[in-house]
């Protein structure tokens, strides 16, 4: 009897589908196994028929099944007097696979983007606060240097927007109090980005909402800046932020879209745990059936 459960047809093992010509499918299970190794169990255990779902012996070799990518790997049998039995499979934690694994990779990629923001903003806040602390000393120093420079070249030092001296005098004229306020705001924004980074890396749903709101609030400003003076960096930044917002809104089902958090949890349960492993092993007719109630959360 095959153990394919109604409402959830078997999915092909990762890497076995024929890639589409223009839209190749990235298999995150294979990526994870390539970088972190396969997840095998019972390497030194004495096998029983109940272990056929994860390991079996054929033709003098032991075949072990990766719990993440479903690959079966032939390994030499252990020495005599192995390390006992595998035991109950339900006591073994199954690694992330399917869409939950995809979400982890995407969210951590966004977290790395936030890490770059944190570094830049923290450095900027430090520069502003240090400048505010030594504002009067630096003001006198730069004014003296620029006056000497102006006299040395026999006239004003020009830039594209006017004299360089006048522009720097404008910066120097900013009140120290306003510099402290600006530095504090930049530091607060860096702390917000750091909070997003940590929450996304850990896969917290509140971090998805926080990141979405913090991203979309700046998109109109980025569009305005791009319309004023277009550049490839501004365009790329806008494109990345729009992609992040769309992914979080649709793929993560924020604000109740596409069924909201409940639908995402059902999808996660469908792709994780031993029920998902058993559905991927539809051809193994002699695999032991799941315990009562194991598939209750993944019903149609």
- Return the structure tokens found at 270: 């469908």
User: What does the pLDDT read at residue 83?
Assistant: 66
Cα dihedral angle (57, 59, 61, 65), rounded to 10 degrees? -50
Each residue's pLDDT tens digit, 3-59: 334 444 456 666 666 666 666 678 899 999 999 999 999 888 888 888 888 998 887
Please work out, in degrees rounded to the nearest 5, the angle formed at the alpha carbon of residue 91 by the alpha carbons of 299 and 86: 120
Do 40 and 73 touch, CB atoms closer than 8 A? yes
User: What does the pLDDT read at residue 167?
Assistant: 60
Strand positions, DSSP E, the chain = 55-58, 61-65, 72-75, 158-159, 162-163
Helix (H) or strand (E) holding 236: helix 232-246
Q: CA of 249: how far to CAs of 171, 213, 224, in Å? A: 40, 10, 23
Q: Which of 72, 90, 85 is nearest to 46 (CA)?
A: 85
144: burial class by Cβ within 10 Å (0-12, 13-18, 19+)?
Answer: exposed
Dihedral sign for Cα 93, 99, 105, 109, please. negative
Q: Tens-of-pLDDT digits for all 300 residues of the chain?
A: 333 344 444 566 666 666 666 666 788 999 999 999 999 998 888 888 888 889 988 877 889 999 999 889 988 887 765 567 888 888 888 999 989 999 999 999 999 999 999 999 999 999 888 888 877 766 666 666 656 655 554 444 444 445 555 665 566 667 778 888 988 999 999 999 999 999 999 999 999 999 999 999 999 999 998 898 888 988 999 999 999 999 999 999 999 888 888 888 888 888 888 888 888 877 665 555 544 444 333 332
User: What does the pLDDT read at residue 36?
Assistant: 92
Q: How far apart are the first and last CA of the chain?
A: 21
Give helix 98-133 / helix 176-201 axis angle, nearest 10°: 160
Residue showing tokens 């630096």: 138
Distance in angstroms (rounded) separating the CA atoms of residues 185 and 145: 30
What are the beta bridge partners of residue 163? 158
What is the Cα 48 distance to its own chain's centre?
39
Neighbours of 249 (CB within 10 A): 17
Distance in angstroms (rounded) separating the CA atoms of residues 43 and 64: 8
Query: What does DSSP assign to residue 15?
Result: T
Q: Which of 118, 203, 77, 227 is nearest to 235 (CA)?
A: 227
Q: CB-based contacts of 10: which residues, under 8 Å, 6+ apart?
A: 4, 279, 280, 282
Do 201 and 111 touch, CB atoms closer than 8 A? yes
Which of helix, strand or coil describes residue 181? helix
Do 52 and 286 touch, CB atoms closer than 8 A? yes
Do 64 and 42 touch, CB atoms closer than 8 A? yes
pTM: 0.74
């Amino acid at each position: 009897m095959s153990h394919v459960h109604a409402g959830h047809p078997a999915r092909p093992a990762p890497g076995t589908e024929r890639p589409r010509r223009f839209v190749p499918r990235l298999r995150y299970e294979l990526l994870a196994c390539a970088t972190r190794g396969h997840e095998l169990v019972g390497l030194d255990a004495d096998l029983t028929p109940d272990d056929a779902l994860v390991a079996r012996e054929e033709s003098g070799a032991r075949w072990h099944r990766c719990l993440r990518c479903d690959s079966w790997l032939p390994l030499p049998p252990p020495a005599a007097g192995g390390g006992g039995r595998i035991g109950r499979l339900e006591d073994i934690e199954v690694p992330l696979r399917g869409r939950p694994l995809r979400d982890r990779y995407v969210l951590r990629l966004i977290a790395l983007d936030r890490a770059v923001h944190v570094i830049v903003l923290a450095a900027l806040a430090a520069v502003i606060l240090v400048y505010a602390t030594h504002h009067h000393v630096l003001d006198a120093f730069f004014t003296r240097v620029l006056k000497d420079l102006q006299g040395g070249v026999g006239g004003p030092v020009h830039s594209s927007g006017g004299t360089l001296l006048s522009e720097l005098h404008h910066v120097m004229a900013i009140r120290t109090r306003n510099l402290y306020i600006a530095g504090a705001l930049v530091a607060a924004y860096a702390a917000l980005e750091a909070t997003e980074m940590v929450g996304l890396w850990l896969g917290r749903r509140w971090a998805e909402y926080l990141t979405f709101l913090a991203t979309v609030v700046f998109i109109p400003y980025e569009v305005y800046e791009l319309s004023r003076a277009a550049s490839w960096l501004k365009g790329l930044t806008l494109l990345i932020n729009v992609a992040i917002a769309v992914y979080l809104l649709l793929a993560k089902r924020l604000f109740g879209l596409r069924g909201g958090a409940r639908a995402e949890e059902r999808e996660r349960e469908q792709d994780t745990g031993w029920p998902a492993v058993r559905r991927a092993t539809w051809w193994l007719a002699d695999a032991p059936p799941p315990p009562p109630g194991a598939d209750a959360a993944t019903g149609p």
